[in-house]
Amino acid sequence: MTRGDKRLDTLIQSVHRAMDAHELRAFYQPKFDALTGRLVGSEALVRWLRPDGSLVMPLDFLPQLETGKDILELDYYILRLVCEFLQRQMKEENFPQLPVAVNFSRLHVYEANCLRAVEQIVDGYGVPRHLIEVEITESAFAQEPEKTAEWINKMRNAGFRVAIDDFGSGLSSLSFVKDIAADVLKLDKSLISRNCEDEKERIVLESIFNFAHRLSLTTVAEGVESQEQLSFLRMCGCKVIQGYLTAKPMPEDQYIQLCREQSKQGQTEDVLLTQPATSATQLLLEAVFARYPLVIFANLTRNSFYLMAYENFTRHSVCPSAGQFSELIAHGTASMHPEDQELFRSTFNADSLIAAHDRGEQSVTLVTRQMGDDGVYRRVETADYFVKSSSVDDILLIALCHNLD
Ligand code: C2E
Ligand code: MG
Ligand code: MG
């Protein structure tokens, strides 16, 4: 259909009339934490509720609005409804303040004053900006990559959250994501339904999650319909799920009810039973780092090391994060109390450690006095544990260090 087409013009006029008559509503589809099942927010989706009670779905009229600028008006209309809703709920005591995602057509990217319009609406209702997440579809990048990236930057710098919607629905490659400073990556439902069945495609999906998490993007899986999909998404470390399995888009009053119930219930699932191995390892590491602020991996055979954590220890910035093990020991020795230096050096040089390993010792532990940033000596315990890698014969160790004073 093109502009000037009679049927198209009539439809567009009816949508404008529907806006004036408040027949266009925002439905809310809840989003949940993939591990705990906790409600974390929602997405506002437009619905046209006709006076005869019938419901018209967005895909039956949005593509037509996108042939011109009418879609821009509709998006601002929905944003206003969302802000009215949030403003009302802010007044209710103990009502959870959860973000709402609002869809923005890619045509906003070409608009001169989009940011100002959004700011005026959101600020006008007194809604904190971080509660509004603007969703812009991946296809915007295919057409106008630079302009879209710039649009996102402006939105984020102004304090709004930004999500890339429908990721994986088009032909765009992963690499474009690295250049975009978004907060959230929403994986399209076509990707989820395809990939959870086929082994090779599951591998692709795992890599997408990995990649997104390394870029510090929050991942949202759209269109989650089955328990099998959810289990697989959890294994991939997916953060948030949205789909019919957990909740369909619902009218505002039902969503309010859900928010109230969830705030009373608190957490719904035991994270220990649902977490993937990577998240369990992360928890374990937190406990290790709480006890040992300095953790060093060393390869004695290759005279190399790297630091895994270096916080709250006697010194903060002077320690290199990777390099030659012999240099690390020389560096450590220099910070020891003069009376402890020889003992430290002779215990922890690579030859002595390799000899201890060959004698069958499992660990080597020593307490020495080390000078901190403040010039004060404190007793430090260094415990080196020999570890075995399944892939190499090198002699490896993990050194756990902590202050005793
Ligand atoms: P979207 O932004 O990707 O929204 C997700 C769509 O997936 C919604 O369709 C939702 O109802 C549907 N969905 C959610 N969970 C499932 C599931 O488990 N299975 C299946 N099969 N579908 C699921 P809906 O509401 O029909 O909206 C379609 C599209 O229309 C949206 O896709 C969005 O691109 C657009 N849209 C909706 N509201 C607005 C709006 O206010 N402004 C703009 N510009 N676009 C909007
Ligand atoms: Mg969306
Ligand atoms: Mg989507």
Q: How far is CA 255 from the centre of its chain?
A: 24
Question: How buried is 124 (Cβ within 10 angstroms: 0-12 exposed, 13-18 middle, 19+ buried)?
Answer: exposed
> What's the burial of 141, exposed, middle or buried (CB within 10 Å: 0-12/13-18/19+)?
buried
Q: Kindly give the distance from the C-alpha atom of residue 72 to the centroid of ligand 2, in angstroms, as a whole number.
A: 15
Q: What is the pLDDT along the chain (405 residues), one digit of tens a residue?
A: 565 688 888 899 999 999 999 999 999 999 999 988 999 999 999 999 999 999 999 999 999 999 988 999 999 999 999 999 999 999 988 899 999 999 999 999 999 899 999 999 999 999 999 999 999 998 888 788 889 999 999 999 999 999 999 998 876 667 777 888 899 999 999 888 766 677 888 888 888 998 898 888 999 999 999 998 998 999 888 999 999 999 999 999 999 999 998 877 765 667 777 777 777 777 887 888 888 888 899 999 999 998 876 554 555 444 557 889 999 999 889 989 999 999 999 999 999 999 999 999 999 999 999 988 788 899 999 999 999 988 889 999 999 999 898
- Rounded to two decimals, the pTM is 0.77
Three-state SS across 169-219?
CCCCCCHHHHCCCCCEEEECHHHHHHHCCCHHHHHHHHHHHHHHHHCCCEE
Two structure tokens written together for 63: 């593509």
Atom nearest to 186 CA in ligand 1: 3
| Nearest atom (ligand 1) to Cα of 71 | 44
Ligand 1 surroundings by CB, under 6 angstroms: 29, 45-46, 57-59, 62, 71, 74-75, 78, 103-105, 135, 165-166, 189, 222-225, 242-244, 249
Q: In whole angstroms, give the CA distance from residue 188 to residue 242.
A: 11
- CA distances for 8 relative to 4, 20, 47, 57, 63, angstroms: 7, 19, 19, 16, 10
Residue in the structure block whose two tokens are 């888009």: 249
Q: Provide the token pair at 43.
A: 């997405």
CA of residue 245 to ligand 3 center, whole Å:
16
Per the rule left: phi > 0, alpha: psi between -120 and 50, beta: everything else, 223 is left
Element (H, E) at 370: strand 363-371
Question: Which residue's CA is the closest to the ligand 1 atom numbered 2?
Answer: 103
Euclidean distance between CA atoms 98 and 233, whole angstroms: 23
Identify the nearest ligand to the CA of 78 by its number.
1
Which residue's CA is the nearest one to ligand 1's atom 5?
222
Residue nearest to atom 4 of ligand 1 (CA): 45
Q: For residue 29, how many C-alpha atoms fall within 13 Å in the half-sphere facing its CB?
A: 23
Distance of CA 48 from the midpoint of ligand 3 (Å)? 19
> Residue 299: its pLDDT value, please?
96
Domains and CATH numbers, the chain: 3-271 (3.20.20.450), 292-403 (3.30.450.20)
| Contact in structure between 42 and 163 (CB atoms under 8 Å) | no
Rounded CA-CA distance 385/379 in Å is 20
The tokens of 274 are what? Answer: 């649902």
Give CA separation, 303 vs 211, 294, 296, 323, 347, in Å: 31, 19, 13, 8, 15
Predicted local distance difference test score (pLDDT) of residue 144: 85
Out of 45, 118, 139, 246, mutate this one to test ligand 1's pocket (max ligand atoms within 8 Å of CB): namely 45
Q: Distance between CA atoms of 280 and 303, rounded to whole angstroms?
A: 31
Give, using CA atoms, the residue closest to atom 19 of ligand 1. 223
The bound ligand whose nearest atom lies closest to the alpha carbon of 29 is 1
How many Cα neighbours within 13 Å face the side chain of 266? 2
Rounded CA-CA distance 144/392 in Å is: 48
Q: Distance (Å, rounded) from C-alpha 71 to C-alpha 61?
A: 10
Q: Counting atoms of ligand 1 from 1, which one is nearest the CA of 188?
A: 3
